[in-house]
Amino acid sequence: MNIRTTSSINETFLEILISCKERKRNAAMFLDAKGMIRIEGLISAIYLDVPKPYLELESGIKIIIKTIRAVNGFFSP
């Protein structure tokens, strides 16, 4: 992530994540999970109809969506 942009109200991380999944593009993320963690990979699935919506990377790592603070250089406002 070499660029930093703050997302607008109309653009959400979910839209970016879905786009990455559909286009089979790498998603580089910063997570707030007991400190800031950087992780990246290809998204294999996004689960929204569960109590804590999450995504799963092809590596098997599961990420709760509400812990994501940045995706591919886009940061939460």
Q: Which has the closest alpha carbon to 13: 49, 51, 53?
A: 53
pLDDT of residue 77: 72
Identify the residue with better confidence: 42 or 13.
42
Hunting for tokens 């886009």 — which residue is that? 74
Query: Is the C-alpha dihedral spanning 17, 73, 2, 31 positive or negative?
Result: negative
Summary mean pLDDT of the chain: 86
Tell me the pTM. Answer: 0.81
39: its two tokens: 């992780």
pLDDT of residue 11: 56
Element (H, E) at 46: strand 43-47
Identify the residue with better confidence: 7 or 73.
73
